[in-house]
């Protein structure tokens, strides 16, 4: 099983609404390769969050480890602008907390608990995580003896404290389409048991194609 840890957004509204963001693209691509995929992320407890869950289900991406935050609205992307899916409905959310306009954010304890809840993890993919949350992914990769893929923002180097066998990949969050698909296929190859060197060479070849 592949576990992807990162943030999620909703693009659009109505029947065309879809989950978006680099983590969503990686998870969807891996699932399209036949891998079992679970996402660890946090969404608002709102209609936009519900729409994200429905979108993930359509893409065969598991969401048993997704958390809901009643105080902060799910981020949506409409016409390239991040805003709540329903401004009137989400006004109550913003009134409940001074920080309600901030997106729902994963905490280290959330991730640690979720990783222990998910069985038979073969690959962990962390996507633009802070150091505290990343430390939980590193710890889980150790006790579960899994492959660890760490995706960092474009231009960043490998984070401190990574195990020797961890692979660091660089990708901007708005590179979600092509780059996300390539990373998802790479994770699926690792999940199938393909040697890491061969899977990485295939990833590089995809980037050159």
Name the band, by pLDDT with cuts 50, 70 and 90, for residue 82. very low
User: pLDDT tens digit string along 90-139?
Assistant: 443 333 333 446 889 999 999 999 999 898 999 999 999 999 999 999 99
Give the CA radius of gyration of the chain: 17
The answer to whether the CB of 69 falls within 8 A of the CB of 96 is no
DSSP assigned state of 175: G
Q: Which residues contact 197 (CB under 8 A, 6 or more apart)?
A: none
Name the band, by pLDDT with cuts 50, 70 and 90, for residue 175. low
pTM for this predicted structure? 0.86
Question: Nearest-5° angle of CA 94, CA 96, CA 102?
Answer: 45
Instruction: Tally Cβ neighbours within 10 Å of residue 14.
Output: 7
User: Measured between alpha carbons, how far is 147 from 143 in angstroms, rounded to an integer?
Assistant: 11
Backbone φ, ψ for residue 33 (5° rounding): -85, 0
Domains within the chain, CATH numbers bracketed: 2-208 (3.40.1190.20)
DSSP structure string for 74-124: PPEEETTEEE-S-HHHHHHHHHH-TTTTSPP---HHHHHHHHHHS-S--EE
């Amino acid at each position: 099983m592949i576990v992807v840890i990162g943030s999620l957004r909703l693009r659009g509204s109505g029947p065309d609404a879809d989950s978006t963001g680099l983590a969503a693209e990686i998870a969807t691509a891996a699932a399209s390769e036949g891998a079992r995929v679970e996402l660890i992320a946090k969404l608002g407890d709102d209609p936009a969050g519900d729409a994200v869950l429905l979108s993930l289900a359509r893409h065969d991406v598991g969401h048993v480890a997704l958390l809901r935050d009643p105080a902060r609205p799910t981020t949506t992307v409409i016409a390239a602008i991040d805003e709540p899916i329903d401004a009137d409905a989400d006004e109550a959310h913003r009134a409940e907390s001074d920080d309600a306009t901030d997106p729902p954010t994963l905490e280290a304890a959330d991730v640690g608990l979720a990783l222990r809840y998910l069985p038979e993890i073969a690959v962990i993919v962390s996507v633009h995580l802070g150091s505290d949350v990343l430390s939980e992914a590193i710890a889980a990769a150790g006790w579960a003896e899994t492959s660890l893929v760490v995706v960092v923002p474009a231009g960043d180097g490998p984070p401190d404290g990574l195990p020797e066998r961890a692979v660091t990949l660089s990708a901007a969050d708005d590179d979600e389409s092509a780059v996300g698909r390539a990373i998802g296929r790479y994770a699926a190859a690792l999940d199938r048991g393909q040697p890491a060197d061969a899977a990485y060479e295939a990833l590089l070849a995809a980037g050159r194609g």
